[in-house]
Chains A and B, each alone.
Chain A
Amino acid sequence: MKGYRKYFLNKLVWLFVTAVFAFLLNFILPRLMPGDPVAAITARIAQGMSNSTGMKETYEQYQRSFGLDKPMLTQFALYIKNVFSGNFGTSFSQFPRPVSDILSSSIWWTICLQFPAIIIGWLIGNTLGALAAYLKKGFDKVIMPISIFVSNFPAFGMAVILMVIFGVKLRWFPTSGGYGFDLIPDFSWKFIWSVIVHYQLPFWSIVIIAIGGQAIGMRSMSIYELNADYVKYSRFMGIKDNKIVGYVFRNAMLPQITGLALSIGTMVGGALIAEIVFSYPGLGYTLLNAVMGQDYPLISAVTLIITLMVLIANFAIEMIYGLIDPRIKAAQSD
């Protein structure tokens, strides 16, 4: 395990650096917005107010809580401190609900939906691509055009199509929400079943998009590997094809894992839109409502959380890669 230390540290440092950068971005960008954000916020909060003193006090209170009366660096420190203590401020569109509360209720829906969906889509896509490369002929000729076609669909496109076919026309699945509107979350079977049913369409939209993209890549990699010298040599030595195929896919898989790490940002982005299409109560939908309601604290918090999630996922994938590719360990030991 010693060999991994260098690799691990390397990736950890990177995670830290990008996280800092993400914080900076989340902090700086909205503050570059022209105009006085506090005035805009106050205007919204004070919509019902007619008392000008009350408005002025609200304005000053927000100034203070944002620390806008302090220098930038202090503001940033305040921001970081707030984030780490879980204080993301109060939401405007769902006033007076704290942002952290909104986040904690929607983040689990997103994680439970996207995480399995992306992984399963990746697995199925790679398997199909590998099979297409190995079986050739008929299977390949069918899978290839379908994959090309599907991979060109925008993520939300697939979501809409699935919704229309299975939700509206065939009425097999519900078209919106995370669970039935008439249900209150608890651990009853009825609730859980409703959740599962509502889970299907968003889940499969993300999976299908992921499959389309992966299948093509894996197929190319597999074809490349299947023609490699070591395949021929293993055959010369009398090793069975099954075993050889095992080698090939393990080798072809490695660049695919790296590819996953690189593209996870995009996949999450697409999956968020899919959530929105289905009004699924995850981060995507929350973000949409936040934007529509001009809820600055909420938007800022959601984008930060999404970025951090992607960064952590990226880190995890790179760690897994380090464990799987034996050459990493070998390269470290000398």
Chain B
Amino acid sequence: MNKNLQIGWGRRSLNPGRPVAIPGQFHMRVSQGELNPVTVSALAIDNGEDSVIFASADIVVCRGGIFDAVIAKLAEIAPEVPVEKIVLNATHTHTGPGFDVGVLTVAAVSPEALVALGLGSSPSGGAAGIDVMTEQETRDFIAGRIAEAIAEAWKNRAPGQVAYGYGFATVGHSRRVIYLDDVSKRPEALAKPGVAVNGHGVMYGNTNDKMFSHYEAGADSFINLMYTFDMAGKLTGAIINVPCPAQTGELLWMLHAGFWHPVREKLRAKYGDIGLICQSAAGGDLAPRQLHYLDAELRRYKLKYPEKYAYLNAHPFPYPEGFLKTPEVADRRRKQDMLDMLRAEDIGERIAAAFDEVLEWAGKEKLSTPEFKHEVKDVMLDRRLFPDDIYNAEKANYEALMKKRFVNTGKIWADLRENSILFSARNRCLNVMKVHDNEQTDRQLKTSVHAVRIGDAAFVSNRFELFIDYMHRIQARSPFVQTFIVQLVADRGLEGGSYLATERAIANKGYSASPYCNRVSPSGGQQLVENTLEMLNEIGKRQQSRS
């Protein structure tokens, strides 16, 4: 006999209330305020025998020791929480608070670290004068808030029920554009060392091109939902699992949660202050951007949201003085920001509509004593290794980039832009070199995978920006009725994220499938699939052996 579920929710703001780094682009940004709430939400489910604690945070990625810091903090404030049962995911909003190891040094926080990392000396003065939280402060703040939300969820546990189902909501579109020709061979093609290596594939490529062929893998409009209820049947929250990162408005310098914010607004307006875990299913090759029909899209929003359109058109988002290079760039940015904010609203409507639709029928089958099991396993995945020619090219790129000097013009925001881009470029080349240098001894990457069973639904995690083909491989072969894939889940240690591209993507090249972007190879991707399925089969057996 299965035991009754205990369910608890917790939530905290991730806005530190002062300038904080916003990683997610090649250039580093520093927050200029909060456009809408960035939060961490936590959901604890346990039945006395096993447990899971889902947490989703409005940050771009979990790395830099953030998860270790959460665990350390929980040991202080709530030692009873089973930390090995935490599945913490980033929504991949590109406008959450964060840090990247060493990058803030470009803002003159820690000049010594640059040297230590092999990334050159700090600009003298550089971006000094920028008021921004340090790495350590940021890590402590984010980890502290996440730990508090988790502790709250754990403490709030009370008897409850779950229900699950799936529906459809168009959110993500393929962002990998494939051409009939190899675009790197076009006369106008520029080598972009440390940024991108295109071939037939280009991320966010222009589709209005004579040689445009297709979107590499298409998209996926499935949305997986699990609702929670109290024992009286009142809705208390939900896990919303959508194969798309939350990167609308991804270039803003204001903290915000991307399209999840309008989703939360709409659902809480209708259902009260419910808890919401916002998970990105596999979305490495997806983004919430249409790459064709852009005129139609703009027209759609103009007609659909005339007031919002007019307001946004007249109220551009703030950018730091001197950051946008020219008035033309500023105008283009204003238009794209406006489009993206309306896009988020539109996406929010579709997710909310799917939420309602699925709740109506899935809510008929509430489970208070489902089969419940949570396994965690470290798996070893083949690294993506590089041949000598790539190594030599990246070494040459690195050396050229090391000869470039950090700028110190006194225009602090322009300097931050240039220096952080240079820093990132060096770092990317260096990472490829390191992989090649260590390839005889370090051929596999260790990462944790969670598999959670709740009734006939399962959740499986990975740390990557996973290409959708891998998700389909897992879902199609899973023994469960529904399998929620949760990407960008926190690993222990400093590492996290990275695109896990497919065979066809690596053949096509382009950002997200370039040597700079992948820690794991397609054979490692298939190892992830097989390991995950093995875990699913294992937890799927339990019911049969009981019954």
**A and B bound?**
no
Interface residues of B (CB under 8 A from A): none
Interface residues of A (CB under 8 A from B): none
